Amino acid sequence: MAHFTKDALSNSDTCDLFKGQWVQDTRDPLYTNYTCTTIPLIKNCFLHGRKDTDFLHWRWKPDGCELPRFGPETFLTTLEGRTMAFIGDSLARNQMESLLCLLSTVETPKPLQKDTEDRFTTWVFPKHNFTLMALWSQFLVASAERIINGSATGGFDLHLDRIDPHWSEKLPSIDYVVFSDAHWFFRQNYLYEGGNLVGCVYCQAPNVTDLGPGLAIRKAFRAAFRAINDCKNCRKIFSLLRTYSPSHFENGTWNTGGGCNRTRPIGRDEVDKGGPDWDYRKIQVEEIEIARNAGEKCGNSFEVLDVTEIMLMRADGHPGVHWGNRWMKGYSDCIHWCLPGPIDTWNELMFEMIKREIRLSSDREVGARL
């Protein structure tokens, strides 16, 4: 049973956390690129020459309530003895790295597993017996890179009805899952079901139907959520879907000179309410609703970490040219987020959702005994 301090119970459970605005905040971040030693070089924007700090001084203010500032000690106490995994692409890892920095302000984590590309990492906080994992799976389903004449094509074969075992085999040891995925689907990918080619994405191949990225995203998330609900030897798992996080390339794409040089958020009234960003978010939300209904039968919980609109306002928070990637000099990173930066808010929102779920579970247990 989790133990809450008074501040952890301060927020109303009826407030919509994801409708609001960014407001100026004079407080400093909970960590800096100097105090957190685990920030990867390519997310350490100040190390690579970023000078402005205005983007750090905004906080998310939901309409009608306050979002509590992240409390690292409260988080570790609440999740004592638990395991949390971020499953998906490099943005999943980006959020895990943010959480690692936030928690490091009260306890130094110990690395248990770390590969050379930081794709599968495990950290433990010994005092609280809390384990934090990043499990790389850029499509959530089984995939293999397409090789032609010995050279990688940049595209993949995706088996939409076969889950990626690199993360699914870890499920029995996990209590909390954050799914985070989408950007890798915008490649020249070939789609398979039952071992048969059923279509593609952007392939322009003869006699192969281009089904677009939306269908592949839908089926991949559906398979992932089904794996949670079908797991026979798993604990009750609380799953969060982080909705589509937009890129902010302006004046071109990533490889045609596009960049992201803004230094302030935009207002909610300035956000484009249409386009593919919203289409992908809608697909994800629809799929988690299906999973939520199925999960009620086996005790699993599914919720939406709805960051799409929130982050559409934050074109100022990306590394841009300040990411020091020696393999891609001259290109901007307008997909990932600086550390510290706006992505820290994802973990504030995530923790508030976890606290709400724990309170609801406690209420259900009390109701069942009455």
Tokens matching residue 4: 């809450």
Residues 6+ apart with CB under 8 A from 335: 91, 183, 245, 247, 254, 318
The phi and psi torsions of 12 (rounded to 5 degrees) equal -75, 135
Place of tokens 């960051």: 307
Residue type, 250: E
* Residue whose structure tokens are 């005092």: 127
Gyration radius of the chain over CA positions: 20
Beta bridge partners of residue 304, listed in sequence order: 241
Sign of CA dihedral 171, 177, 178, 182: positive
Residue 293: partners with Cβ closer than 8 Å, 6 or more residues away: none
Q: Is 128 a catalytic residue?
A: no
- Token pair in block for residue 186: 């915008």
The C-alpha torsion from 307 through 94 and 152 to 281, rounded to 10°, is -10
Q: Tokens 């499920």: give the residue.
A: 171
Amino acid in position 163: I
- 218 by Cβ neighbours in 10 Å (0-12 / 13-18 / 19+) ranks as middle
Catalytic annotation on 166? Answer: no
Sign of CA dihedral 44, 45, 49, 53: negative
Residue 333 annotated as catalytic: yes
State the number of CA atoms in the 13 A half-sphere of 269 facing the CB. Answer: 0
Report the candidate in 177, 182, 168 with the shortest Cα–Cα distance to residue 91: 182
Strand segments (E) across 115-193: 120-125, 130-136, 141-148, 151-163, 176-180, 189-193
- Catalytic member of 89, 90, 183, 332: 90
Q: How far apart are CA 154 and CA 283, in angstroms?
A: 25
What does the alpha-carbon distance between residue 285 and residue 277 come to, in Å, rounded to a whole number? Answer: 13
- Active-site positions read 90, 333, 336
